[in-house]
Amino acid sequence: MHVTLTKDLETFVAGKVQAGGYADASEVVREALRDFQAKEDPAEQDSRELAELLLPAVRGPHRPLPGPRFDRLRLRARPTPSAPAPALLCSTSGSAPTPLSARSDRSPSYPCLRGS
């Protein structure tokens, strides 16, 4: 395959190679096409958008959330009585999850899942 580029694009590609990020012009074009292909894939676009939203939070400062505060937040997040919230389920051993209210250790450090 042979591709013809405009002078502006040739200059851009040559600049990328000269900057040392790429071995040759073909490598620049391949990466550009991979990026273009990823943009066309809706799942890939969703993944990029999700990463843009989550990474700053993950990389930012963190404070532990005390158990009583976590419990208050969980209660506030529940829907109205006409539409009860699904039970919170936790598993510490990889076995079947148990309702959080039935656990003696209600620490929020265990992974919790919303059950139906």
HSE-up of 45 (CA within 13 Å, CB side)? Answer: 6
Per-position b or e across 68-79, b if 16+ CB within 10 A of its CB: eebeeeeeeeee
Has residue 2 been placed in a domain?
no
* 71 against 95, higher pLDDT: 71
**Domain identity same for 16 and 55:** yes
For residue 29, is it within any domain? yes
Q: What is the pTM of this model?
A: 0.39
Whether residue 78 lies inside any domain: the answer is: no
| Residue 116: per-residue pLDDT | 41
Asked if residue 50 and residue 11 are part of one domain, the reply reads yes
pLDDT of amino acid 87: 55
Number of domains in the chain: 2
Looking at residue 19, its pLDDT comes to 95
Residue 50 has pLDDT above 60, yes or no: yes
The parent domain of residue 111 ranges over 63-70+86-116
**pLDDT tops 80 at residue 85:** no
Return the pLDDT at 83.
Answer: 60
For residue range 7-29, what is the model confidence (pLDDT) as tens digits? Answer: 999 999 999 999 998 999 999 99
Q: Are residues 53 and 92 in the same domain?
A: no
Residue 52: predicted pLDDT: 86
Q: How crowded is residue 90: how many other Cβ atoms within 10 Å of its Cβ?
A: 19
| 20 and 55 within one domain | yes
Q: How far apart are CA 91 and CA 28, in angstroms?
A: 47
CA distances (Å), 112 to each of 7, 54, 78, 99, 109, in order? 56, 19, 15, 10, 9
Are residues 52 and 90 located together in one domain of the fold?
A: no
